[in-house]
Amino acid sequence: MERVEHHASFGGWQDVYQHDSISLGCSMRFGVYLPPQVEDVKAPVLYWLSGLTCTEQNFITKASAQRFAAEHGIILVAPDTSPRGEGVADDEAYDLGQGAGFYLNASQAPWSSHFKMYDYVVDELPALIESSFPATDRRSISGHSMGGHGALTIALKNPGRYKSVSAFSPIVAPTQVPWGKKAFTAYLGNDPENWKQYDTVELIKTAQERLPILVDQGGDDEFLAVQLRPNLLKAACDEHGHPLTLNQRPGYDHSYYFIESFIGNHLAHHAEALS
């Protein structure tokens, strides 16, 4: 593991590391924010999963979450959104292949040899973080858009593993929307039954742990009606008694200007659960 960036930030350090991932079979980068508190004590960790086209850079340069991580004493870990490199399968479209890992384990060629973001985020990355940094094993998870999908599905599939979960503008029903149908067909094959294991609305039905879900959704998000459809999440949570706080934010779009405006609320939510 090699440190490739190191910046003082809000009394702590915003670093970027590069390492060879076993799950993904390629070199990967992740951002890690170490708050000032880790000089004295270990800190809990919030994992942030980014959206389509993003790398580890988007969240660490644009969300200004470090301000609140420093305040609450939380480590922030922001991985890349897919395996990368010349030997990794890719597609010309922005919503398939590199930059579009969808936080699942692909079963179909040519994707199945590297696209194991689920294993990477759930197991490999936390093990690396907890052995390499002053981190406790108290974890929370959040993300944006495709990364909101990742955060919600990973929390639902791993009861007890995360203290809290939240999302901005998540894809909540990938089996029902164009982004998800396209990616899941490629990564998981033609049988929609195999897609349900990575669909938040489906997972809510059988969730073993009623971990409260916090979602913020911009009202002027250009992907709201076709790709995101938070009403499907609300209906599923209502039907199955799953606790959900769905903050509708009129006027806000899908950008980091939206995330930045409300990231402080999400960090406070996670800080309470992690403390």
List residues binding a second copy (CB under 8 A): 7-11, 14, 61-62, 64, 66-67, 218, 220, 249, 251-253, 255-258, 260-261
Nearer to a second copy, 16 or 89 (CB): 16
Q: Least distance to a second copy from the beta carbon of 218, Å?
A: 7
Spot the catalytic one: 254, 266, 269, 270.
Answer: 254
- Asked whether the bond before 110 is cis by omega within 30 degrees of 0, the reply is yes
Give phi and psi for 136, each to the nearest 5.
-80, 180
Nearer to a second copy, 242 or 254 (CB): 254
Q: Least distance to a second copy from the beta carbon of 168, Å?
A: 13
Q: Least distance to a second copy from the beta carbon of 263, Å?
A: 10
Round to whole Å and give the CA distance between 170 and 41.
Answer: 33
Q: Least distance to a second copy from the beta carbon of 59, Å?
A: 12
DSSP 3-state assignment of 136? strand
Spot the catalytic one: 140, 142, 145, 166.
Answer: 145
Q: Is 145 a catalytic residue?
A: yes
Q: Least distance to a second copy from the beta carbon of 255, Å?
A: 5
- Reading phi first (left if > 0) and then psi (alpha if -120 to 50, else beta), residue 181 is in alpha
Q: Is 242 a catalytic residue?
A: no
Nearer to a second copy, 46 or 236 (CB): 46
Nearer to a second copy, 66 or 200 (CB): 66
Q: 117-129: string of b/e by CB count within 10 Å (b at 16+)?
A: bbebbbebbbebb
Among 98, 121, 88, smallest CA distance to 52 is for 98
Give yes or no for a contact between 229 and 200, defined as CB atoms under 8 angstroms apart: no
Give phi and psi for 18, each to the nearest 5.
-120, 135
Per the structure block, which two tokens stand in for 257?
């200007």
In one-letter notation, the amino acid at residue 156 is: L
Q: Least distance to a second copy from the beta carbon of 274, Å?
A: 23
Nearer to a second copy, 11 or 85 (CB): 11
Q: Which class for 3: exposed (0-12), middle (13-18), buried (19 or more C-beta within 10 A)?
A: exposed
Spot the catalytic one: 164, 221, 266, 270.
Answer: 221
Round to whole Å and give the CA distance between 134 and 41.
Answer: 7
Per the structure block, which two tokens stand in for 181?
């149908």
Nearer to a second copy, 9 or 105 (CB): 9
**Residues annotated as catalytic (active site), given as ranges:** 145, 221, 254
